[in-house]
Structure formats: structure tokens, C-alpha cells
Structure 1
Amino acid sequence: MSNNGSYSNDRPPSAGETELATDPASGVLFLSDYKKHEDLQQMLDSNKDSLKLEAMKRIIGMIAKGKNASDLFPPVVKNVVSKNIEVKKLVYVYLVRYAEEQQDLALLSISTFQRALKASEFFIPVLLVDPNQLIRASALRVLSSIRVPMIVPIVMLAIKDSASDMSPYVRKTAAHAIPKLYSLDPEQKDELIVVIEKLLSDKTTLVVGSAVMAFEEVCPERIDLIHKNYRKLCNLLVDVDEWGQVIIISMLTRYARTQFADPNADDDGEDSTNKPFYEDEDDIDGEHDPSKEEKIKKTYSLDPDHRLLLRNTKPLLQSRNASVVMSVAQLYHHLAPRSEVHVVAKALIRLLRSHREVQSVVLNCIASVSTKRKGMFEPFLKSFFVRTSDPTHIKLLKLEILTNLATETSISVILREFQTYISSNDKEFVAAAIQAIGRCASSIKEVTDTCLSGLVSLLSNRDHDVVAESVVVIKKLLQTQPSEHREIIIHMAKLVDFINVPQARASILWLLGEYSDRVPKIAPDVLRKMAKSFINEEDIVKLQILNLAVKLYLTNPKQTNLLCQYVFNLAKYDHNYDIRDRARFLKQFIFSENSKLSKHAKKIFLATKPAPVLESRFKGKKRWVPYHTILTPGRLAIMTCLLSLKFLLILL
């Protein structure tokens, strides 16, 4: 060509010198000199494969930089019939990139694909009958990526044809194309199910994972398609690629939970016969140990096909892929007998040596499982000790797990570990550690007094955040047995002058109001101090001052009458409407002599409050909550209004 020199650094090749294309890895592809699409079009129209390859590399480079190359669609599409495999691959990459985004332009590729007539009705891309399996698979991949409803029959016929291809790689690509076509036209579901059924019966490990993926995307409710392939899937599982293993294990977990009995159900009438789930009596794995099976039957009666699934997934706990290990752990958690679930613990602990992202997912899993199965991870307690190099979210998850694993035997070690965490510079972590101490004290009664003493000692800490969090936790613990800890309540009342954190001040005031009968001389004096600083307090503290005033007026009206009136007069003109509204509401209970509400004031405000339950935030994750029972803010407001009206109607 006359302009070849423009692609060789403006220097014509000398005699005998081989003409080479520009290296795509070099920075030349990304220079501003190559912005003229006219030059690229000329190269794509060239008869030389080297120029076409260079042009395609530069176009892909433009796409990688985020530049728009859609105006090159026509000349690129023409090269889809190129005999150079490297050129074809890059053309396919280009087509997949713009197939969905440029649907009108994508129709141009259809006319290029349609070369051979088949079945007298549909055009099938000539590349789908190419002798090279990579080309056939790439052609199907591109064709299924063109989201134009007009070509749905063509894609369907191509998928059916590729599902019977001699190459496993092409059949795998056909399985990947099924969800694409289903999302484009859900009405093709029945025909696609027929193809999926055919692919599920494939005995090639390369195809099985993709076939199950298509099954999960298109027809997960068709469990009957799995029945005849169940044993084959279990036995091929070890040889399937890693991501195929994840998909198959997830599907088999769902399948087994619906088709087999729960091995942990307390059902004395469970069938103890060793009858197979299927009619076929052949032992698939060929390794049958009668003595081991006899022991299994004596302990618990598992269906042989249920046992087959557990036996064939257990080796995958040694997989290098964290997703595979997590999938097997999930399967064992739901399907294995209690005596066998512990085998996944060591595999999950091994994953904690991986990078932070994997650690976070694994720790979330362990935190959820440990609420129900403490014994699984108790031997690995030290693996959850916090390191200074751990990020905050990892530290919080480890704290959660350590708290879940706390027992009478391990609590002393855990509390010593928590004690060292209090001196950390991470304030969020320190607050979580104090809360963890409170949870341990709440769940293990033997150490409640010890934990309370430790938390009280933290009240003299120089860090105000530590003191504030300690006050909040102590308040929750004192609610469980307030009569035994009068001295602690008195000690906390003295801290009101020194603690500035609003949440902590509010907690102290709530305690004094709730147990004012145990400190009759101290509570009125605290109210007097709070009345002086009322206008400077935060809203949460003001609300508790009002509550304290009401409770003291109901228990000691002679001493606190004028003080309460003063507090309510301050609240009457507060800038926050919530404070004003609460003051007007409470005033009707204590200062309206003829009101029927005042007769029931003591029952309402001085009633015994239930002790709070301190439990793991992961504990509720194993329960499913219907959406209609979730209290959204709007629903909560409506229910609150209705309950208030009902209460007032009863009183009046």
C-alpha cells in the first residue's frame, strides 16, 4: 500500500527488512497521533493480516482507555470472516463490547454472519460450523450478546445446535448463552429447559458447572431435572472447575434441604432403614466399607445419597479457592449431622490467613455459625485474638466471635484479652470491647460481679469515651439485679458532674429515675444540678431530666414539687419541639388534679421495666422475617398513634 510508511514511524522499510506491526504493549497505541479513524479504516480494509491485526489492537486499546470506537463498527464487522485467528478474537471482543450498547449497529453483524441457510427457515452463522472449536464458541458468544429481539430465533437455533457440538468447550459456551437468551425473551423458557436437560446429562466436567448455572438462572424450581443427574453431579464434583464447584454445591445444598430429612431433627420415628433415595442400587464410588456404614447406621440413619453428597464434598475443604470452602461449610452447616459439622472449622480457620477481603467474609460466616455451634471453634479460640495490624471491621468481627465463644472455662482468658483491648487507640474498637464485656457478664452469671467491678474501675479512666461507654453498659447490667448494686448507682450519680458525653449522662439519669427509691437523698440533688444546666444540655439529656423529674415527683412530691415545675417551665420554651411536646404531655400526668391520667401515673411511670437482653447481632440472621412484618418508619408511626389512642380511650 502507498501509505504503509505512515505506520512505521514515518520511515519506509529498507530492502530485505521484514515489515512488523507495532507492539500493542508499547505506549505507541495510546499516543494522540492515532486518533484518525480514517487510518484505522484503511488498515482494516487492507489485504494484509498484519495491518488488520495492528488496527484491531489499537482499537481495543482505545476501548481500554474508555474512548468511543463505535463508528468503526462497519469496517470491523467485515473482518469477522478473516482467516487469521488473532484478528477474529479481537473482532469478537469488539462486537461483544458494542453488541448491547449499539443495537442498531449490531444488526450489521447479523448480515455478515448469515452465510449459510439451514433448516430452510433460519440463518445460522457460518462461523458456527467452523472447524476450529474456539471460533465456533466465540461466534456463539458474540451472537448471544447481541440483545436484539429480532434475532431470538437465530440465537435459539444456534444454542440448540451448539448443545450437541462435539467440543465440550462449545457446549459450555452454549450453556452460558442460555441465561442471556432467557433474559432477552423469557417466553423461550420451555425450549431452553429442553436444552438445559440435555446439558445436565453431559458427563464432561467442563460442561456440568455451566449447565447447572443455566439451570439456576432459568428454571431453579424444576427439581425433577436434578433427580436423575444427582449421583453423577456428586461424583464429578471434585473434577469440576472451582467456580463450577461453587454453583453446583449451592444447588445441591438447596436440593438436599428439600429432598432429604434433616439429620438433626429430634424425630424418634425416623426411618432407620438403609433404603437408597433412588431405585438404582449400584454403589457409584466403588468404595464401600460395610463396617463404617454399620457404625453410621447405629449413630444416625442417613440416606445413602445424602451420605454420598457429604462424602464427596468433604475433600473440597482443602480447596485453594475460598468460595469453594465457604460453599462446603454452608452445606455441612445445613445438611451434616451435629457430630460431623466440626470438620469445617479447621478449613475456615485456614482461610483467616488469606487477605483481608476473604477474612471479612469468613469471619462473618463464623460469627453467624458460632451463635448456634460454639463447640466448633472453641479449640481455635486464639485464632480470633485481635492483632494491632487488623483493620477496624476485622477487629469488631473477632470481638463478636470471642464473645459468642465465651464459656465458663474460657471466660477468664477472654476477659484478660478484652482488658488489653481497652488501651487501644481505636475508639470504635474500645467501645465494642466494653460492650463485649457487658455481653459476657450478661450471658455468664459467674463473672457478672467481676465484669461489673472491672467496668466500674473504668469509670476513673482519663478517656471520656471509655467512661461514657462503660456507663451505658453498666446501666444495662444493673437492670438485671439493681438491688444488689446500690453502691454502684451512688458512684455513678457522683460522675454526673464529670462526664460530658450525652449518652452517658442520659444513662445515669435514667438509672437514678428508675431506682430513685434506693437513693432517695441523692436523686433530688442530682435533679437540682440538672435543672441549673438544663438549657445547655443535649436533647437526649433533657428528655431524661424530664423523666427524672416526673418519677421523683411521684415518689417524693413534697421535696421536688417546685423543682419539677421549674424544669417543666424551662422545657415549655425549649427550642426543640420534641422537648416542648414531651413536657406538655408529662405535665398532664402530674399537675392536672382532675385528670384521669394522673390517677394512673404511678402505674405507667414506676412500673418494673424488663431487663435488656444483650445478645449477638448475628443471632437473628438464621431466622427469616416476612416483609409485611417489618416495621418501617411509616408503619411504626401509624402503630404508635393507634396504640396511644387505644390507651387514652381505655383511661377516659
Structure 2
Amino acid sequence: MVDSIHRIASALDTAKVITREAAAVATSKLGESSYTYYSQNINPQQLVTLLNSRNSREVRDAMKRIISIMASDDDSIDVQLYFADVVKNITTNDTKVKRLIHLYLLRFAENDPNLTLLSINSLQKSLSDSNSELRCFALSALSDMKMSSLAPIILHTVKKLVTDPSAMVRGEVALAIIKLYRAGKNDYHEELLDILKELMADTDPKVISCAVLAYKECYADHLELLHGHFRRYCRIIKQLDSWSQSYLIELLIKYCKQYLPKPTVVDKSSEGSPRSCPLPDKYNEIEYPSYEVVNDPDLDLFLQSLNCLIYSSNPTVILSCCNALYQLASPLQMKNTKFIEALVRTVTMTENQGNKEMLLQAIHFLSILDQTLFLPYTKKFYVFPKDPIVASIWKIQILSTLINESNVKEIFKELKYYVASAHFPENVVIMAVKSLSRCGQLSTSWESHVMKWLIDHMESHNLSASVLDAYVNVIRMLVQKNPTKHLRIIFKLADLLTVQTSLADNARAGIVWLFGEIASIEFKICPDVLRRLIPNFSNEGPETRCQILVLSAKLLSYDIDNFKQAQVTGSEENNQNPPYYDFSGSRISQMYNAVLYLAKYDDEFDIRDRARMISSLFDSGKYEIVSLLLQAPKPTARSDDFIVSARLETHTPEIKEFFRMLPWNTEITEVGETGNDIREGAELKDYNKYKKSFSSQSFITNNSARSFTSSSNAKLTGINDGDSNSISGKGNVNTFTSQNGKKYRLQSLDEFFSDIPERKSKPRKIIKVVEESSDEDEDESEESSDDDEYSDSSLGTSSSGTSSSHLEL
């Protein structure tokens, strides 16, 4: 009794589990969350059961669970233990399961090569499948396995499938070339190069897109491969994949620099015979005020082909087009195009922060070369509080490069808002402060205006140490350019040292250094500044203490030189020998000794070493060396120096390499070995003709070519009026020539049904039933029905005064 109850209970539990699993699988069609919960509850034993199941749905569930474990790096289940169970399902007809197995093999194929070889036969059989998607999958799976022993098999497969009728498979062949090239660059170099040449001569734009990727990745230095395809690629560039477009533009830029003549700049402003010169190697260095550029026809073809990419949604394509104009065109040609507007539009519309940062760096790079390119779009670079820090900094830097007399008021007002607002991060505020120096460089009035605003803001706000350092650096840079015109600003800085005790160490050190630099111009105020700093020497920061020591040495050096000059002038008048400088009686010397005494016992070893070095120079009497060291003029700080000081504001190496100006080749050959043009169209490979059928889409579609021929003059773009290969006949548009040369004619419905032969219709039997009121007629009708004698004459006769009805069979 107990055993029976136990069996019943276990059966109910099993049924309960099965019911839950079935319900979860059913609800997975309606929502992903239910299926996720179900897949997470699959234990290791159930995985083995599901992988060995004959139901493709269960195998797919098990593979999804395994792939999810691999993606999440879950260590609770070792998915490598299921290698044999996974590989044996490679023979399934379910494409989704095959893709999941492919992902699994990518991870673990190298760990167990013997079992991996079991799947090779199945993948090789799929290469001959009638389904092009399965052939493409099989080639991708073979080429992705990182096993050196499979390289010859993959190479043989690639050579076989390069002539596949499906463009998808031929495109996968190009991607397989990249993988083989990385695996054995030196072993299969020539074979892969020959395969790539065939792919580059393909007529399908999808195949060319993949071939360009392989070309850029593996054989970018073999620019001679583009000779026969240069003009054709320029015409079909709009039909390629967006990433292939950017790679192709980079390759064509190198090709133009290597094999096309340099453009010529003709001066239009000169009277008489016009002057001309080659296009300068550096951007925006043309000396003529009005000029025109004469390009090679092939170069014009390439530059004009870029116009169809203005509205591309890929930021890399827009950036590549701008680089092409930067490398090959003049500044005037670049301004006349719409790519600058497209570049600004892409920055505004893109939501990817990485793309936005790279585009902003490119705009900043181009705005440094020529600020007039982006002057109409100044407001597009205003910073919003929600912008990321890096993007905000780049926008401020772009604004600083666009400052001129016409927009300085608007930009200065905008920068003040960034500095004074509490909504922006500290790095953004620092960059805004540094950009204010660009406003001050326009004129002396703007210098005074900027410094006055900065000092007033410093006195009225409690700022952080890094922000104060930026304030002082900007003020120091502007004062150092013309100290005599900014004495009032200098006096305010002296007051800040005593009033603003909360100034950061680096900010106070910068102000002290500034007084040491202006000692040669306004010496009178500097000793008083030093006198105020000595009592709090021990409370100052290490940088400020070091600058106070240097300031005292500078003042003593200037005082000695002034004394010598005065005594030399007096002794020449009185014909007496000049006396020596009295160190004990000089107040500046006494302040120097006090600072030197404090510095010799400082905690910082750098300050102690500087003190000993300076004292040894003065004690030895080598005042000329002291003057040379301390009074040497310092170069005026530039605003670019402040930009380099921040880590986030420098151009990345990728941008610098991307916009690196390539040199033009001076030795150009326009004629090939046979005496023909080196860019004469190459023979094309049209494998679409091996297809067994064609669809009406090939006749209707305007973007794709309708038919191709393996000739050097074949074109892939559009339908020309005189294209005899596309539409035969002058005015008959219903005649269609297929890709294998057969001619077809599209028929109307009437013409289609008119070809059907007419069937001879059988004569219909007509039964006539005659009802008569007399008995004689009834007897006659019965006799006639018994004898089954029906004739047309008897059926057609009827007596008068009778009622008749007809039945037709």
C-alpha cells in the first residue's frame, strides 16, 4: 500500500515538472522573460537529455542554455563537458541550431581537435547544399576554427567557392581570406592574392564590399590592384556597404597620391599671363587671393563620386570624405562642398558618445587649420549641462578656435556662463577658463576685460584649487605679454596674496613667480611683496616656498646689477673706482638671508638643494652667472600650453594618423606595359549567370544592374538608354535579355491565355420531357422511352396544346 502511494506521488511530481516545462516553453513564444526563467532551471542532466533528443526544439533550447552560460562566464556548469553531445548535432537541418553550434565550436574547437574533426565532414557536405545560406554558414564555420591543420582544407574550399553563383557565398569567401591571411600570412600569400583579384573583378556590389575589406586588411600596400577598377569603383561606391565605403575611400586616397598627378593652382587675380603652382603639401597655404584648381579627370571623378555620400548615416563615411577633401582638394573646394555641414549634422544627431568624441576631435583638428570652415555653425558647439565631460571639453575647445572680432562677445558671454554656473563639472569649468585667454588675445582692451572679470570672480567666490590654478595661469599669461599696461591687475594680485589666504598652493606659487618676472619692469613693488610673504613662509605650500626663495634671489640679483650700473656711471664722471655692493646694509639682502636661512632647514629636499646652490653662487661672487640663470627672459606662455596640461583635451593618436598628410608621388606612370592607359577597365567576372532562374525583381529594380558581360567597358550603375544588354529593341520595353544570354518577352494576360489551345467541346445532351393530357400521347412517350430512341427530330417536335419542360445535362 505504501509503495503504491509512493509511486503515485512520484508520478504526480514528474507530471508536474513536465507540465511546468511545457507551459514555460509555450509561453516563451509570447514573452522572453518566461523562457529565460525556464532556461535557467535546466540542470546539467537535462542538458544531456535535450542535446540527445530527436526534437529540434529541445536541441535548440539546450544550445541556447549553453550559449547563455558561455556569454555570462558562469562557472557553475562546465559547458566543455558537452562537446561530444553538441558536435553530433551538426548534421541537423535546423539553421539556428547550426549557428549556435558554430559559436560553441569557436570557443572549444582547439581544446579537442579530434572531436572537432567529426564535424568537418558535415560542414563539407553543406558546402554543396542547394541553399546558399547553408553554404555560407559552412564556410564561415570552417574558416573560424583556429586549427592549423584545417588551413589547406579551407584554402581548397575558398578556391572552389570563389565562383559560386550566390553573392552571399562569394562575400563570405572574401572574409575567409582575411582569416586565412592572419593564420598563415607567408604560406598562402600568392594563392590568396589571386583569389582576391577575382573577387575584386566581381560584378556584384555585395561581393566588392567584402573584397574591399579583405583588400584593406591584407593587401593595402598593393595599390596596383586598383588600376583596372579605379573608375568602376568610383561609379559604384554608393552601392557598397557603408563600412566598405570608408575603407575604399582611404584606399583611393592613397592611390590618387601615388598614381595621379598633383593638382595645379592657377592665379585668377593676376593680370596678363596667369601664374600657376602645384597644390601645396600643407593645407591652406595657397598664396593667391583668387584661384582655380585644375585636376586630373580621374581625380575629378573620384571627388565627384563622394557627393552621393553626403547624406550617409555612418559617421565614418562622412569623416573619410572630409579626409579625402583635406588630402586631395584645395580649401576653396572643401568650403564649396556640403561635407562640413554634414559633419556638423552628424555630430549633432549621433547618440554614440564614442563616435561623437571622435567627430569633435576631427572638427577641432580642421578648425585649427581653417576656422572659416565652421564659423557658420558656432552655436552648434554650445555646451549643454547633460553633455558628457569629454564632449563638453571638445566643444569648448572648438569654440576657442572660432573666436574672432565678430563673435567674441557671444562666445565670451557663453564661456562666462560655463565658468560661473554650478551645473558643469570642474574639468569643463577649467577648460572654459583656459578658453577665455583666447578672447584676451584679440586686443588689449579684451585682455584687461578678461583679467578684471577673473580677478573679481576670484575675490567673490570660493573656488577649488584646480580652478584657481587655471585662473592664475590665464592671468599670468595675459600679464606677461604686456606687463606695463596691466599694472593695476598686478596690484590686485599682490593684494590677493594677503587677503585670499585660501588660495591653493599652485595658484599662490604662480602669482609669486609672476612678480619675479616683472621685477625687471616694476622693481619697486616687488620688495614689498616679498616682505609680506616672509612672515608666513613656514605656513606656505612647498611650491610657494620654492618660488619665494627664487623671488628673493632674483630681487638680490637685480639690486646688485642696479647698484653696479649706478656706481659705474658715477665713477666715470668722478674718475674713481666703483665700490663693492654692501650686503650687510641692503634691506633686500637681509630679506634674502632670512629666506635662505628658512630654506636651508626646510622639510623638502628640493628647496634645501636650491638654497645651497643659490647661496654658493652669491658667496663665490659669480654675479654674472646668477644674472644669466635668474634674469634670463622666459618665453611667453601660449594658450596651447594650457590645453596640453589636461589629459582629456589632446588629440588621440588615431585622429593624428587619420589626418596625416600623405606626400604626392612625383614619378607617375600613366601608360602601362602594353602602351594602354593603366586605368583601363579590367575584365569583369559575372557569376550570376550560372543561376538557374531569374525573378521579376531583376527586371524591375533600377539600382542593380540587369545584365552584365565580361567586357572591359561593362558598367554596374543604372540602366542606360542605349544599353543593349539590358533591354533589347529600340522602343519595346517588354523584351528582356537574361544574364545567360537568353531572350524573354513579358506577356500580358491576354497574350498568356491566348497560347492555350482550345478544347473541342462535346455536344450537350438535351432531354426533352413532354407531358400530354391525352392517353395516346402518354402511351407513345412510354414506348419511346423504352426503346431509348432519341433523335433531334423527335426532340424538336411537339404537338400543339401540350405543356413541355426541358432538362439540360
Please give the range of the TM-score, normalised by the shorter of the 2 chains.
0.7 to 0.9
Deviation of 1:435 after TM superposition, in Å, equals: 1.3
Instruction: Kindly indicate whether the alpha-carbon contact (under 8 Å) linking 1:21 and 1:51 is maintained by their aligned counterparts in 2.
Output: no
SS at match of 1:422: helix
Higher mean C-alpha displacement, 19-28 vs 437-446: 19-28
Instruction: State the one-letter code of the partner of 2:179.
Output: K
Counterpart residue number, 2:302: 309
Counterpart residue number, 1:128: 127
Distance 1:430 1:261, change over 3 A: farther
Distance 1:37 1:420, change over 3 A: closer
Deviation of 1:203 after TM superposition, in Å, equals: 2.0
Q: Distance in 2 between matches of 1:385 and 1:20?
A: 53
Counterpart residue number, 1:336: 329
Q: Distance in 1 between matches of 2:249 and 2:201?
A: 17
Instruction: Kindly indicate whether the alpha-carbon contact (under 8 Å) linking 2:161 and 2:169 is maintained by their aligned counterparts in 1.
Output: yes
Q: Distance in 2 between matches of 1:83 and 1:192?
A: 32
Instruction: Kindly indicate whether the alpha-carbon contact (under 8 Å) linking 2:51 and 2:58 is maintained by their aligned counterparts in 1.
Output: yes
Counterpart residue number, 1:197: 197
Counterpart residue number, 2:559: 556
Distance 1:186 1:386, change over 3 A: same
Counterpart residue number, 1:66: 73
Distance 1:235 1:445, change over 3 A: farther
Q: Distance in 1 between matches of 2:21 and 2:452?
A: 88
Q: Are 2:89 and 1:79 equivalent residues in the alignment?
A: yes
Counterpart residue number, 1:566: 594
Instruction: State the one-letter code of the partner of 2:18.
Output: D
Which protein is bigger by CA-based radius of gyration?
Answer: 2
Instruction: Kindly indicate whether the alpha-carbon contact (under 8 Å) linking 1:371 and 1:619 is maintained by their aligned counterparts in 2.
Output: no
Counterpart residue number, 2:775: none
Counterpart residue number, 1:370: 367
Distance 1:551 1:266, change over 3 A: farther
Counterpart residue number, 2:734: none
Which of 523, 547, 557 pairs up with 2:550? 547
Instruction: State the one-letter code of the partner of 1:541.
Output: T
Distance 1:22 1:491, change over 3 A: closer
Q: Distance in 2 between matches of 1:516 and 1:51?
A: 87
Deviation of 1:180 after TM superposition, in Å, equals: 1.5
Counterpart residue number, 1:167: 166
Alignment of 1:48-197 (within 5 A): 48-67=55-74, 68-99=78-109, 103-114=110-121, 125-187=124-186, 188-197=188-197
Counterpart residue number, 2:758: none
Q: Distance in 2 between matches of 1:375 and 1:108?
A: 65
Deviation of 1:362 after TM superposition, in Å, equals: 2.0
Alignment of 1:244-259 (within 5 A): 244-259=244-259
Instruction: Kindly indicate whether the alpha-carbon contact (under 8 Å) linking 1:29 and 1:58 is maintained by their aligned counterparts in 2.
Output: no
Deviation of 1:463 after TM superposition, in Å, equals: 3.0
Alignment of 1:493-504 (within 5 A): 493-499=494-500, 500-504=503-507
Higher mean C-alpha displacement, 173-182 vs 263-272: 263-272
Deviation of 1:509 after TM superposition, in Å, equals: 0.7
Q: Distance in 2 between matches of 1:32 and 1:235?
A: 51
Q: Distance in 2 between matches of 1:498 and 1:12?
A: 78
Instruction: Kindly indicate whether the alpha-carbon contact (under 8 Å) linking 1:20 and 1:50 is maintained by their aligned counterparts in 2.
Output: no
Counterpart residue number, 2:635: 610
Query: Which structure is higher in RCO with an 8 Å CA cutoff and minimum separation 6?
Result: 2
Instruction: Kindly indicate whether the alpha-carbon contact (under 8 Å) linking 2:263 and 2:296 is maintained by their aligned counterparts in 1.
Output: no
Counterpart residue number, 1:10: 18
Q: Report Cα offsets for 1:534-557 as digits up to 9, x if no partner.
A: 222222112211110110111236
Distance 1:401 1:529, change over 3 A: same
Deviation of 1:564 after TM superposition, in Å, equals: 1.3
Q: Distance in 1 between matches of 2:67 and 2:312?
A: 36
Counterpart residue number, 1:646: none
SS at match of 1:339: helix
Distance 1:444 1:485, change over 3 A: closer
Deviation of 1:270 after TM superposition, in Å, equals: 5.5
Counterpart residue number, 1:396: 393
Q: Distance in 1 between matches of 2:511 and 2:633?
A: 17
Instruction: Kindly indicate whether the alpha-carbon contact (under 8 Å) linking 1:263 and 1:337 is maintained by their aligned counterparts in 2.
Output: no
Counterpart residue number, 2:716: none
SS at match of 1:251: helix
Instruction: State the one-letter code of the partner of 1:354.
Output: T
Instruction: Kindly indicate whether the alpha-carbon contact (under 8 Å) linking 2:142 and 2:154 is maintained by their aligned counterparts in 1.
Output: yes
Counterpart residue number, 2:609: 581
SS at match of 1:474: helix
Instruction: Kindly indicate whether the alpha-carbon contact (under 8 Å) linking 1:171 and 1:207 is maintained by their aligned counterparts in 2.
Output: yes
Instruction: State the one-letter code of the partner of 1:109.
Output: T
Instruction: Kindly indicate whether the alpha-carbon contact (under 8 Å) linking 2:557 and 2:623 is maintained by their aligned counterparts in 1.
Output: no
Instruction: Kindly indicate whether the alpha-carbon contact (under 8 Å) linking 1:353 and 1:359 is maintained by their aligned counterparts in 2.
Output: no
Instruction: State the one-letter code of the partner of 2:429.
Output: V
Q: Are 2:483 and 1:482 equivalent residues in the alignment?
A: yes
Alignment of 1:291-302 (within 5 A): 299-302=292-295
Higher mean C-alpha displacement, 211-220 vs 47-56: 47-56
Instruction: State the one-letter code of the partner of 2:300.
Output: R
SS at match of 2:441: helix
Which of 378, 382, 395 pairs up with 1:385? 382
Q: Distance in 2 between matches of 1:211 and 1:513?
A: 65
Q: Distance in 1 between matches of 2:330 and 2:199?
A: 33
Instruction: State the one-letter code of the partner of 1:570.
Output: L
What is the percent sequence identity of the aligned residues? Answer: 27
Distance 1:69 1:7, change over 3 A: farther
SS at match of 2:634: coil
Distance 1:601 1:221, change over 3 A: same
Counterpart residue number, 1:644: none
TM-score between the two structures when normalised by the length of structure 2 = 0.66
Deviation of 1:526 after TM superposition, in Å, equals: 2.0
Deviation of 1:11 after TM superposition, in Å, equals: 4.2
SS at match of 1:104: coil
Distance 1:369 1:12, change over 3 A: closer
Higher mean C-alpha displacement, 394-403 vs 519-528: 519-528
Gaps of 5+ in 2: 1-10, 268-274, 280-290, 561-585, 659-809
Distance 1:183 1:429, change over 3 A: same
Q: Distance in 2 between matches of 1:613 and 1:550?
A: 26
Counterpart residue number, 2:409: 412
Counterpart residue number, 1:283: none
Deviation of 1:263 after TM superposition, in Å, equals: 4.3
Aligned residues: 580
Q: Distance in 1 between matches of 2:145 and 2:15?
A: 33
Instruction: Kindly indicate whether the alpha-carbon contact (under 8 Å) linking 1:172 and 1:207 is maintained by their aligned counterparts in 2.
Output: yes
Q: Distance in 1 between matches of 2:356 and 2:57?
A: 48
Counterpart residue number, 1:353: 349
SS at match of 1:300: strand
Instruction: State the one-letter code of the partner of 1:451.
Output: V
Distance 1:582 1:13, change over 3 A: closer
Q: Distance in 2 between matches of 1:34 and 1:339?
A: 66
User: Which has a greater percent of helix?
Assistant: 1
Q: Are 2:439 and 1:440 equivalent residues in the alignment?
A: yes
Counterpart residue number, 2:697: none
Instruction: Kindly indicate whether the alpha-carbon contact (under 8 Å) linking 1:209 and 1:247 is maintained by their aligned counterparts in 2.
Output: no
Q: Distance in 2 between matches of 1:195 and 1:431?
A: 56
TM-score between the two structures when normalised by the length of structure 1 = 0.81
Distance 1:263 1:479, change over 3 A: farther
Counterpart residue number, 1:635: none
Counterpart residue number, 1:532: 535
Q: Report Cα offsets for 1:352-403 as digits up to 9, x if no partner.
A: 1332614322222111110011111111111122223323322221211111
Q: Report Cα offsets for 1:70-123 as digits up to 9, x if no partner.
A: 221112111212223333232223223433xxx0324422233236xxxxxxxx
Distance 1:379 1:174, change over 3 A: same
Q: Distance in 1 between matches of 2:254 and 2:656?
A: 17
Counterpart residue number, 1:600: 625
Q: Distance in 2 between matches of 1:232 and 1:263?
A: 22
Distance 1:305 1:619, change over 3 A: farther
Q: Distance in 2 between matches of 1:458 and 1:264?
A: 54
Distance 1:535 1:401, change over 3 A: same
Instruction: Kindly indicate whether the alpha-carbon contact (under 8 Å) linking 1:550 and 1:590 is maintained by their aligned counterparts in 2.
Output: no
Instruction: State the one-letter code of the partner of 1:350.
Output: R
Q: Are 2:210 and 1:210 equivalent residues in the alignment?
A: yes
Q: Report Cα offsets for 1:163-207 as digits up to 9, x if no partner.
A: 221111111111112222222212222221111122111221111
